Structure 1
């Protein structure tokens, strides 16, 4: 029976596993034990886990199963970044946080539990989530299961690596500038960022990074992502934003043909040859499915946009560190922080209030301009990244003599597209359709209109049927030999 459960985990998504638990063919305890074994098989290589919560998951697996829950008995992990799990460490990828433990579940985590998920541990993130690679002094580098010399992406790199390696069918993450979609692209899995205000952000914070941050998941299948959104979407008490929830389940959207879509192919940014190839190939695939592709230049001053983003991220990080100092009783010494964070705080940590308000207003004005452009298109298309996943150490700034401008050039030269849709509040996704000649994944990125998650899910499911990725398994994996 043990080998049979591993075979199921090799091939089944979360919804399928839950059906087997609910039918009594397998038990949630058997699933938990099998996933623990799988995690330990790959973890020395991947370095994707912050804290194991095995005892808690085992105890939860013994509770009676509610057969009405979509993910009854399915193990998963929660990203260790602004997502408290009651009793678990909250490192945020930083030495500065010490051994602080959460006293409550954040609302998104509570809803995962309510959907039947069993929380097996927490996954890695770079310090405070401000990097497109999951590398930190506290936890080290999280490696890409397709090639351990390359990054798993960031900031939900631990989640993406574990899903790609077939440890779990899905894992929680969050996204303030691409942090679900970038690692999904790097690891060859599906990453989806919902519209601003669709997911709860409380009770710890009212909003993340001026409304740019949100949570959701990285999954192997499109339907798991849609079903997870069905289970967790909706504002929580006191939320500052609210996005419309689909009147029909998102899961149903994956079973509908999207119709003929008008898709704008984003032009005007420099891409490496492999990313240019992904853009062309994805456009051709969409045309073969009956969609219309047209080039589009977005009304964005990219350099000014990135500067405004850090006018928001810098003070937000400073405020979090002040709060952390109050919590632990001693101010945070900047020498406890990563060089990248020190640079950001030095240049943007204490900008004046007028500049911060101007950044918020500019970001919202940009959202209105892009929304107007979107009236001409159903979706926008680009590669998720401007080149294939970088090597470990390539993107991480270990020298605080660097300027913030140099860091921005490195990060957004590598990932120019994703942050825009955090700022505008639009839903977006990375779909794993193509691999480079070096055998590394490079995702295709689609963004939709605000509140139109269902259209993205319909297209993603159509692409999944046309060019399936589920059987592509990286060299480092938890599957049975």
Structure 2
């Protein structure tokens, strides 16, 4: 879509207005570039001087201000930081002038707060800037805030005692997913076309599924994690984004991928850009259809049907699909992940308690977080080493299975978006019951974190109640390129671009 300079300025001005005069007069809502373009499209408008970075930023801020009271996706407002970046002059990168939100979890801009969804970190101002932030800004993105997370990113919903509950734009009584729920809610509501997200057990793919977005979890070592450290949760965690379009996800990964100073390992360098893969049809793929939850928990029939429909779609595109699943010791893998996460959380909280001079307890941490701390305090170095060994063995088993299959297809989640209050970190049940609830909701996602493989949630289905349902595709380690080729093919065959929640226009009504 191409607009004249005057048309573009008028549409952005309309987007920035949050009054109700137009609705009161019965006028049709005006279109904005934020409605019609993905991030690459916005950048192209900036390059053509049909819209300015300042106009886009103010439009995104206006939308955030109008919609945040309803969905609660903003943890930090860095509006003046974004305005100052534009005034200073933006790098001429692939996303120059496009608004961007960081996730408020272990991603730092020196001197600005990062609170990790926790009362224990309220007011924390790091003295370092993350390498990922440098790459995001070099790409030309304009950072204007940070999105909400559950405390320390520990669950698949974004509810916490510090900022409150983040709600799904498709249904405000439902979760937006977690731990990147604030990012997904902001994108789904139409504030911006893409936002930063992280994934330590499904935290990109869970909110992408809940909010009808595309969510790619990259391979371990693909995107920088530091400083101050280059690994999260013993290698379980990765950074990337939630997006509306496949091509944005690919281009963002092009802009951010690659080893960072001090990293212990890095994913294999891509032969070509990821963006170049999106328009290429993949060769005939061998796809394993995995319908049973690895740990045996029940899967909602609509999520199963979404995966079956995706399988039929893949077959119609010429791919071979057969039911198959790797043989993994899921109980041992889950226990190993728990050791890595619990140990990491306990160590971080001990350091934070020392820095603040405040004891760890219920006044600063939520009950489930305290459960992780207590478990981590009891683990030993031998426990950690054994856990690491178990996950390495699992990665080998997965690689052997995928010698015969290009992709594993499964539901992303065990159910459509849950109602608020079921898997938050201050539940009405004990730790064990909470763990069973949380694991049953996302039984498929954590395997890719344990083995380091790339995996993507693709918004291919809707429930009978009108809620988004994602379908997950897992690829071989280091081969995001193949997943992007498949994702582009699926996006062409079953477009989701125009599937938007009613909230998309609510700020103008």
**Alignment match of 1:351 (pick from 379, 383, 386):** 379
Aligned to 2:5: none
1:148 to partner: Cα distance: 0.1
SS at match of 2:322: strand
Tell me the secondary structure at the aligned position of residue 217 of structure 1: strand
Deviations 1:140-184 (A, max 9, x none): 110000000000000000000011111011000111000000000
Instruction: Please give the TM-score of this superposition, normalised by the length of structure 1.
Output: 0.97
Structure 2 SS opposite 1:62: helix
2:203 alignment partner, one of 179, 182, 187: 179
- State which of 419, 425, 446 in structure 1 corresponds to 2:452: 425
Q: How does 1:171-250 map to 2 (within 5 A)?
A: 171-250=195-274
CA distance in 2, matches of 1:159, 1:353: 35
1:381 to 395, 409, 412: 409
Residue 154 in 1 paired to residue 194 in 2?
Answer: no
SS in 1 for 2:233: coil
Note if 1:107 corresponds to 2:134. Answer: no
- 1:19 corresponds to: 44
Deviation track 1:227-283 (CA, whole Å, cap 9, x = no partner) reads: 000000001011012111212110000011112111101143231111111111111
**Residue 271 (structure 1) aligns with:** 299
In structure 2, what is the Cα distance between the partners aligned to 1:66 and 1:93?
31
Contact 1:147–1:475 at 8 Å: present in 2 too?
Answer: no
Query: Would you say how many aligned residue pairs link Structure 1 and Structure 2?
Result: 479
- Which one of 1, 4, 10 corresponds to residue 11 of structure 2? 4
Secondary structure of 2:196 counterpart: strand
* 1:372 paired residue among 395, 400, 409: 400
Q: Is the 8 A contact 2:344 2:376 kept in 1?
A: no
Q: How far 1:297 moved relative to its partner?
A: 2.2
Q: Distance in 1 between matches of 2:103 and 2:111?
A: 14
Partner of 1:55: 80
Shift of 1:3: 4.3
Residues 339 and 400 of structure 1 are in contact (CA less than 8 Å); yes or no, is this contact kept in structure 2? no
Give the one of 79, 84, 89 matched to 2:103. 79
Q: Do residues 290 (structure 1) and 318 (structure 2) align?
A: yes
Query: What SS does the corresponding residue of 1:206 show, helix, strand or coil?
Result: coil
Gaps of 5+ in 1: none
CA contact 1:153–1:186 (8 Å) conserved in 2: yes
CA deviations on 1:15-63 (whole Å, 9 max, x unpaired) are: 1111111121111011111111111121111100001111111111223
> Over the residues paired in the alignment, what is the CA RMSD in angstroms?
1.5
User: Residues 303-346 of structure 1, C-alpha deviation per residue, up to 9 Å, x if partnerless?
Assistant: 22212111110010011112212332444335411111112222
Residues 88-127 of structure 1: matches in 2 within 5 Å?
88-127=112-151
Structure 1 distance, partners of 2:115, 2:142, is 21
Contact 1:172 1:217 in 2 (8 A): yes
Q: Structure 2, unaligned stretches of length 5 or more?
A: 1-7, 16-31
* Distance verdict in 2 for CA 1:227–1:276, change over 3 Å: same
Is the deviation greater in 12-21 or in 148-157? 12-21
After superposition, what is the alpha-carbon deviation per residue over 1:56-85, rounded to whole angstroms, capped at 9, x for unaligned?
Answer: 111112233444x10001011000011112
Q: Equivalent residue of 1:326, what SS?
A: helix
The TM-score normalised by the length of structure 2 is 0.92
